[in-house]
Amino acid sequence: MSETPWLTIIGLGEDGLKGLGPASRTALEAAEIVMAPPRHLALVGDLSCETRAWPAPFAEGIDTLLSLRGNRVVVLASGDPFWFGAGATLARHLEREEWCSFPGPSSFSLAANLMGWSLERTVCLGLHAAPLTRLRPHLAPDVKIIALLRDGEAVRELSAYLSDAGFGASALTVLEALGGPRERVTNLRADAVATESFEHPLCVAVDVAGGGPALPLASGRPDGWFETDGQITKQPVRAMTLSALAPRPFEHLWDIGGGSGSIGIEWLLTHPTLEATSFEPNPERAARIAANAARLGVDRLKVVTGAAPDALAGQNEPQVVFIGGGLTGELLHWLEGKLAKGTRLVANAVTLETEALVLEAQHRLGGTLIRLDVSRSEPLGPKRGWKASYPIVQWSVSL
């Protein structure tokens, strides 16, 4: 391998060659092959080297690119390739010394400057290849969002989504071809019917307004946010459970006995780097878990239909495990034998049988036991009294 990277990734703006810096121009002039989507090739015009159009979907072009090793290759991408762009995807297939990158201004930076918004206080989302439901955790009055969208029709879909969520009063600024000769800015309300047609590339700046319900930031969201058949870790216990699970960046959770998926979903809502797999033997409940996760903006939750421990085999290893139902001696023995040392385990026991199992396991493996007793006030004749829920014994341990 030569010391000079064979691949250069260049972030291209809508002004084409005019926006390139000296290093980008030098790399482009030295290229033997330039590979890019047709729109990017049109922005740079005729080149002296060979050009290849990147196919759609994007993944189909990766093998072609890798086959070009040994040539000086330039890949053209939009704006900053490592912010909701192609850069990170390409880097996963290459050694670090094989590539270099020269970013251009991102759509987020251009949009924030146009809007006068503080970028560090603005939610930036790439929704050009992701569902609009990823907006849901961020929808609250006065929140500012810049979202990349795939095409003009997605603007209408965004308007409908915000209106249905109760945020139809939000101000939308549709920003087309930022930084180039075709730049256009259109202002409208989310609940207004857009008569204009919009063209890719575009993003939308959203100044959220309206009386729709906002998803709380704290763990232990109200139970009403989750569709359920009654199999759910209730709000107070869920808050205590998330505290015991103690999520840290980049960790992966196994939620065994997913029920409605509330634990796995709230785990993912804690931080965007977290991952989770929910295991649920009941197919109807498994489908409900996936629907809850998608609706609340964490469609990255992986749902496995099957019973533990058999369903656990071959899955990506977790750093944290939660057992909300179905704890057995067989399952605990499997976890002890298969999981890496230091894996954190939290188990909630409701029945006397599982409580006995937890007590024995804690005596053998250590960890912390707490008992959660929750009561709610309810009518009692003409007055009110306390109605107790089933007590829960919670065991937390590092295996």
pLDDT tens-digit profile of 124-136? 999 988 999 999 9
Helix (H, G, I), strand (E, B) or coil at 202: strand
Q: Which two tokens stand for residue 49?
A: 């080297």
- Which pLDDT belongs to residue 1? 39
- Which pLDDT belongs to residue 56? 86
Q: Mean per-residue pLDDT for 314-337?
A: 93
Position 321 pLDDT exceeds 90: yes
User: pLDDT class for 3, splitting at 50, 70, 90?
Assistant: low
Distance (Å, whole) CA 332 – CA 122: 44
Distance (Å, whole) CA 187 – CA 254: 44
CB atoms within 10 A of CB 180: 15
| Tens digit of each residue's pLDDT (9 = 90 or more) over 260-295 | 999 999 999 999 999 999 999 999 999 999 999 999
Inter-residue contact 133 to 160 (CB < 8 Å): no
The residue among 30, 31, 52 whose CA lies nearest residue 40 is 52
* CATH class label, 223-398: alpha beta
Position 381 pLDDT exceeds 60: yes
- ∠89-90-92 over CA atoms, to 5°? 70
Residues near 150 by beta carbon (within 8 Å), at least 6 away in sequence: 127, 128, 129, 200
Kindly state the percentage of the chain with pLDDT values over 90. Answer: 92
Q: Per-domain residue ranges for the chain?
A: 7-105, 108-207, 223-398
Q: Does domain 7-105 have CATH number 3.40.50.1370?
A: no
CB atoms within 10 A of CB 123: 15
User: pLDDT class for 326, splitting at 50, 70, 90?
Assistant: confident
Q: Mean per-residue pLDDT for 308-336?
A: 94
The number of angstroms, rounded, from the C-alpha of 331 to the middle of its chain's C-alpha atoms is 30
Inter-residue contact 240 to 372 (CB < 8 Å): yes
Q: Which two tokens stand for residue 212?
A: 């729709």
Residue whose structure tokens are 């989302």: 125
Position 213 pLDDT exceeds 90: yes
* DSSP structural state of residue 235: H
Q: Mean per-residue pLDDT for 175-192?
A: 94
User: pLDDT class for 4, splitting at 50, 70, 90?
Assistant: confident
Out of 60-69, 70-79, 185-194, 262-271, least confident range = 185-194
Instruction: Give yes or no on whether 7-105 and 108-207 have one common fold.
Output: no
Torsion angle of alpha carbons 304, 395, 260, 223, nearest 10°?
-160
Taking each continuous run of H as one helix and of E as one strand, the counts in the chain are 11, 19
The number of angstroms, rounded, from the C-alpha of 396 to the middle of its chain's C-alpha atoms is 27
Backbone angles phi, psi at 124, to 5 degrees: -115, 120
* DSSP structural state of residue 129: T
User: pLDDT class for 2, splitting at 50, 70, 90?
Assistant: very low
Inter-residue contact 391 to 373 (CB < 8 Å): yes
Q: What pTM was computed for the model?
A: 0.92
- Which pLDDT belongs to residue 282? 95
Q: Mean per-residue pLDDT for 305-331?
A: 94
Kindly state the percentage of the chain with pLDDT values over 70. Answer: 99
Q: Mean per-residue pLDDT for 141-148?
A: 97
Contacts 24+ apart (CB under 8 A), 235-242: 236/372, 236/374, 237/348, 237/372, 237/374, 237/392, 238/262, 238/263, 238/266, 240/370, 240/372, 240/394, 241/322, 241/324, 241/346, 241/348, 241/394, 242/266, 242/267, 242/270
Out of 193-202, 253-262, 376-385, least confident range = 193-202
The number of angstroms, rounded, from the C-alpha of 255 to the middle of its chain's C-alpha atoms is 18
Out of 153-157, 184-188, 324-328, least confident range = 324-328
Distance (Å, whole) CA 320 – CA 398: 9
Q: Mean per-residue pLDDT for 16-30?
A: 92
Residue whose structure tokens are 């560090």: 120
Q: 108-207: CATH homologous superfamily?
A: Tetrapyrrole methylase, C-terminal domain (3.30.950.10)
